[in-house]
Chains A and B, each alone.
Chain A
Amino acid sequence: MSIRFTIPAALLLAAIQSGAQTRTPDLSGTYDIATLTPLTRPARYGDRLELSPEEAKALEQQEAAVMAATSRASDPDRKAPPVGGDGSQGAAGNVGGYNTVWIDRGSGAFLIDGKYRTSIMTSPKNGQMPALTPEGRKQAAARGRMNRANTGVAWWVKEGVEPGPYDDPELRPLAERCLLGFGSTAGPPMLPVLYNNLKRIVQTKDTVMILNEMVHDVRIIRLNSKHDPPEIRRWMGDSIGHWEGNTLVVDTTNFNDTPGLANATRNLHVVERFTRIDAKTLRYQFTVEDPTVWVSSWSGEMLWPATDQRIYEYACHEGNYSFGGILRGARILEGDLTGKK
């Protein structure tokens, strides 16, 4: 080829590349992923993925009614709650939590392709987590043995369990230690939680950043890159991405021993797909596998609606008085049994 043709060809190629770059979808923005649609499907829906408009409306009304009911005035002459606990379950641990004014978990189910959903999970088709492997069952049982009702008594001393659940700060949950947000809020996969569900995406030619409001966890996704060597492990794994048409595909491996996702291990592997479906909405899809704990992979999808709200700082160590209180409290409960103060 003569130089006469080479230069225009090079200019044409540059123009095509430039055009291709401008056509790369822009995922930038701030998103609020709060939703009443649960991760796993309520059993009553069976294999049904879609929620009817009437059911979705009922769900919204039910939530609004709950919020209204919990916002009503209380008896100003009320007494202290009952001795022995109020029966609250789970993390509320028999003592309750705080008023619903603090909670922001969305006001309705999300619509995908014009249909409401019964669950975020799309696979397995029953919307439930796959069965645990024998190792997964073993690990779950070990956690279960440490997960007791809150009676205000140091049961681990009575039963001679060593180490006890409060014997070392590093035995405490990651969120309690302000290392990661709870409930896989930063993920991956990035799942909705009780509050602070905002995400901010900043995109450059070779990197996509996702800022998670909770604990200001930040994911840095390298585009068209290779994974770190396997000995390099991270709390949120090592994420690399590439474009498939209009979809950003993100592959994450190299987790450390305790990913944010419940039950997962260092062998967790997550593939996420981010697709802009309109000026104000992203479609977020993910597939999770961890052969150590689940017999098969599982998948889900939801929407990330843009929001005009701002992300605020969440400096978790700023006022984490609870952590010291929990450890001090355990020592006092132990002293109640041993007589040592």
Chain B
Amino acid sequence: MRTKAFFAVIAAAVAGIALWRVVPVYAHHAFGAEFDPNRPVLLKGPVVRVEWINPHTWIHVEVTKDGAKQVWMVEGGTPNSLLRRGLKRDTIKYGDVVIVDGYQAKDRSNRANGRDVTLADGRKFFMGSSGTGAPYDKPGAEQRK
């Protein structure tokens, strides 16, 4: 099978925004092939590890469920884009609490896509930083801890 057809428009992948492009915009792999629409998750807990790797970054989040701790891996995008925005691996502070909504992997491991990753107060992860050159970073904006 020629499976390039699986790479289709990812516009709706990006927080449901309507992109102007009408040509297919592609991704490294189809998230639809990896994650299960019947297994939505909401994860909340501290970041305990970041794998700053290609093709996709993975953020490890420690979640406490029924008194037991589990580490979930959350899939993001390429770190190269963030490097060019002035963000680095150590921009992320281990221990920062994040909220992630996404869908669990079809292999039912503790992995999910980072459909929306925010700090505990709702600010977008990475964008909540100040003085890093992050997008929409305003001079004098409140510093993260």
Which residue numbers of A lie inside 8 Å of B, CB to CB? 36, 38-43, 59, 62-63, 66-76, 78-105, 139-140, 142-144, 146-147, 150-152, 163, 165-166, 171-176, 178, 182-183, 193-196, 213, 258, 262-263, 309-310, 312-316, 318-326, 328-330, 332-333
Residues of B within 8 A of A98 (CB): 13-14, 75-77, 113-115, 117
Asked if A325 meets B111 with Cβ closer than 8 Å, knowing A90-B11, A147-B5, the reply is yes
B10 interface residue (CB < 8 Å to A) = yes
Add 9 more A-B contacts to A85-B38, A99-B127 (CB < 8 A).
A91-B6, A96-B31, A97-B113, A100-B15, A102-B57, A140-B5, A151-B37, A152-B39, A178-B55
Task: Please tell me which one of the listed residues A84, A95, A175 contacts residue B32 in the complex, with CB atoms under 8 A apart.
Answer: A95
B63 interface residue (CB < 8 Å to A) = no
Q: CA separation between A73 and B125, bound complex, in Å?
A: 9
Residues of A within 8 A of B114 (CB): 98-99
- Give chain B nearest CB distance to A224 CB in angstroms: 34
Name 10 A/B residue pairs within 8 A (Cβ), A-sorted.
A36-B20, A89-B11, A98-B76, A98-B117, A101-B135, A102-B81, A176-B3, A312-B84, A323-B29, A328-B107
B95 interface residue (CB < 8 Å to A) = no
Task: Please tell me which one of the listed residues A39, A42, A322, A332 contacts residue B29 in the complex, with CB atoms under 8 A apart.
Answer: A322
Asked if residues A94 and B37 are in contact (CB atoms below 8 Å), the reply is: yes
Q: CA separation between A88 and B14, bound complex, in Å?
A: 9
* 0/1 string, B16-46, CB within 8 A of A gives 1: 1111111111111111111111111110000
A181 and chain B: residue at smallest CB distance: B28
B56 interface residue (CB < 8 Å to A) = yes
Task: Please tell me which one of the listed residues A101, A173, A174 contacts residue B82 in the complex, with CB atoms under 8 A apart.
Answer: A101
Which residue numbers of B lie inside 8 Å of A, CB to CB? 1-42, 51, 53-58, 73, 75-85, 99, 101-103, 105-109, 111, 113-118, 120-127, 134-136
Asked if residues B32 and A93 are in contact (CB atoms below 8 Å), the reply is: yes
Q: CA separation between A263 and B3, bound complex, in Å?
A: 10
A129 and chain B: residue at smallest CB distance: B23
Asked if residues B81 and A175 are in contact (CB atoms below 8 Å), the reply is: no
Asked if residues B84 and A91 are in contact (CB atoms below 8 Å), the reply is: no
Asked if A78 meets B99 with Cβ closer than 8 Å, knowing A83-B38, A325-B106, the reply is yes
B136 and chain A: residue at smallest CB distance: A71
Residues of B within 8 A of A314 (CB): 54-55, 78, 80
- Give chain A nearest CB distance to B50 CB in angstroms: 11
Asked if residues B34 and A99 are in contact (CB atoms below 8 Å), the reply is: no
Asked if residues A171 and B3 are in contact (CB atoms below 8 Å), the reply is: yes
Q: CA separation between A75 and B118, bound complex, in Å?
A: 9
Asked if A146 meets B1 with Cβ closer than 8 Å, knowing A91-B9, A93-B31, the reply is yes
Asked if residues B30 and A91 are in contact (CB atoms below 8 Å), the reply is: yes
Question: What 4 pairs between A and B have smallest CB-CB spacing?
Answer: A93-B32, A329-B106, A102-B77, A97-B13
- Give chain A nearest CB distance to B133 CB in angstroms: 12
Residues of A within 8 A of B29 (CB): 91, 173, 175-176, 322-323, 326
Residues of A within 8 A of B20 (CB): 36, 38, 42, 59, 62-63
A168 and chain B: residue at smallest CB distance: B1
B108 and chain A: residue at smallest CB distance: A332
Q: CA separation between A226 and B36, bound complex, in Å?
A: 50
Residues of B within 8 A of A36 (CB): 20-21
A76 and chain B: residue at smallest CB distance: B122
Q: CA separation between A310 and B86, bound complex, in Å?
A: 12
A63 and chain B: residue at smallest CB distance: B20
Asked if residues A258 and B2 are in contact (CB atoms below 8 Å), the reply is: yes
Asked if residues A330 and B115 are in contact (CB atoms below 8 Å), the reply is: no
Asked if A84 meets B27 with Cβ closer than 8 Å, knowing A75-B122, A78-B42, A328-B107, the reply is no
Q: CA separation between A97 and B38, bound complex, in Å?
A: 16
Asked if residues B12 and A90 are in contact (CB atoms below 8 Å), the reply is: yes
Asked if residues B107 and A332 are in contact (CB atoms below 8 Å), the reply is: yes
Q: CA separation between A172 and B4, bound complex, in Å?
A: 8
Asked if residues A91 and B26 are in contact (CB atoms below 8 Å), the reply is: yes
Asked if residues B10 and A92 are in contact (CB atoms below 8 Å), the reply is: yes
Among B11, B19, B34, B136, the one with the most A-chain Cβ atoms within 10 Å of its Cβ is: B34
Q: CA separation between A63 and B134, bound complex, in Å?
A: 17
Asked if residues A71 and B127 are in contact (CB atoms below 8 Å), the reply is: yes
- Give chain B nearest CB distance to A61 CB in angstroms: 11
Residues of A within 8 A of B15 (CB): 70, 96, 99-100
Asked if A93 meets B58 with Cβ closer than 8 Å, knowing A98-B77, A314-B78, A328-B107, the reply is no
Asked if residues A96 and B115 are in contact (CB atoms below 8 Å), the reply is: yes
